[in-house]
Amino acid sequence: MSPIFPCLVSVLAKYENQINVFSEFLEDLPDTDEPVWVLGECYNVKTEKTGLLSDVHSRLWFTYRKKFSPIGGTGPSSDTGWGCMLRCGQMILAQALVCSQLGRAWRWRAEGGQPEEYHRILHCFLDRKDSCYSVHQMAQMGVGEGKAVGEWYGSNTVASVVDSDITTACPHSQSQSRSDWRPLLLVIPLRLGINHINPVYIQALKECFKIPQSCGVLGGKPNLAYYFIGFVGEELIYLDPHTTQSAVESEAGSGVDDQSYHCLRSPRRMKITNLDPSVALGFFCKSEDDFDSWCNLIQQEMQMKRNLRMFELVENHPPHWPPFVPPTKPEVQTTGAEFIESSDKLFESEEEFEILNV
């Protein structure tokens, strides 16, 4: 046997997310004059294709993994077949963390040399029980919500956004400056139809990807979850978690072999009309000014100009609703727990990070 063959097999096993890269390019981005929107950024595919692909490739891509330590000690050692929504949830959270610590303009470089903050974020999602946002942690938290480990997850169904509740959850000191606001990841679960997405919501959904605070959309098809990051024409652009890769081993404090955490395939697309009506919208507001701007954009672009609203945006908590109780920070002893407890330990200039699922 040629000595080259085992080496080739090793390389393919290490970077198996790239095996189908050539066939994927057959389904390239369309040659169109229509703008391509990706998480608040607009591209011309004819003149800015390189920048567009760099943006898509820079998004952290979490997929099914195998050969990790059993969840709960005796549970599954792979999430293939049931963990796609958890992986999509990881992607939307990772995007918020990247925006918070590296900025929306940050781009990943395949040759390496990523900043320390990037590796610290990635460590939070490694497939082991002591990583803060690992599939192990998320699956165990699901048990507390009545979801057995290995059970498929879907989106919730209804939501509204209450301005006063968010300012309660992400307060700033009245005696100091607005910089005391905690960075906020706002997740809004919706149902936009019965069996299929109602066409009256399609334009409003597309507008979400134009908003600078956009962190993407969780959704997909029945029993298939995708992380949607943009659109072109009547097609949604998404990252697909349905690729099984081997778990990556890395010691705390060291760099991560990150090649398998970025999808270098041509962006996948799906007709909006094929979307399942259950979705969850994600928005990241680093400052209170960001949140105020988001509220204004929602009012102007999504509600005032459209016939049917996807959700309500109200200033005060309705008196007939149950009292709002801000979420409490869980007691965690995990790698990346600094993001929950106080990111001052991890990033000296940053505030605590608030996740609010309304």
* Dist. CA 72–CA 55, nearest whole Å: 36
Can you give 225-257 as a three-state secondary structure string? EEEEEEEECCEEEEECCCCCEECCCCCCCCCCC
- Range name among 70-84, 198-212, 328-342 with the lowest pLDDT average: 328-342
Query: CA 296, CA 309: separation in Å to the nearest integer?
Result: 15
- At residue 300, the pLDDT reads 81
d(CA 187, CA 54): 26
Q: In the predicted model, is pLDDT for residue 317 greater than 70?
A: yes
In the Cβ-directed half-sphere of 318, how many Cα atoms lie within 13 Å?
A: 8
Q: Global pTM?
A: 0.82
As a whole-number percent, the residues of the chain with pLDDT over 70 amount to: 72
| Residue whose entry in the numeric block shows the structure tokens 């891509």 | 61
SS3 197: strand
CA angle 199, 203, 205 (to 5 degrees): 95
pLDDT in tens, 139-189: 888 777 777 887 767 655 333 655 565 666 666 544 445 557 788 889 999
Confidence of residue 257 (pLDDT cuts 50, 70, 90): confident
With bands split at pLDDT 50, 70 and 90, how would you rate the model's confidence at 92? very high
> Which has more confidence, 239 or 356?
239
Task: Name the nearest CA neighbour of 64 among 222, 221, 228, 246.
Answer: 246
Q: How far apart are the two ends of the chain, measured CA to CA in Å?
A: 59
pLDDT of res. 340: 46
Quick one: pLDDT band at residue 45, thresholds 50, 70, 90? very high
The domain ranges of the chain are 4-357
Q: Is the pLDDT of residue 313 over 90?
A: no
Q: Residue 339, Cα to own-chain centre: how many angstroms? A: 16
**For residue 18, what are its two tokens?**
């790239």
Listed range (25-29, 81-85, 192-196, 213-217) with the worst mean pLDDT: 25-29
Q: Is the pLDDT of residue 325 over 80?
A: no
Q: pLDDT averaged over the chain?
A: 79
Which range among 9-18, 93-102, 182-191, 202-211 shows the weakest confidence by mean pLDDT?
9-18
Q: State pLDDT tens for residues 333-347.
A: 555 555 544 443 433
Share of the chain above pLDDT 90, in %: 46
pLDDT (mean) for 327-332: 57
How high is the pLDDT of residue 10? 40
- Distance, in Å, from the CA atom of 248 to the CA atom of 65, rounded to the nearest integer, reads 9
At 251, give phi and psi (nearest 5°): -85, 145
The residues that are catalytic are 84, 240, 242
CA atoms within 13 A on the CB side of 352: 14
Count, in order, helices (H) and strands (E) of the chain. 10, 13
User: For position 19, what pLDDT does the model report?
Assistant: 36
Which residue do the tokens 């699901």 mark?
Answer: 142
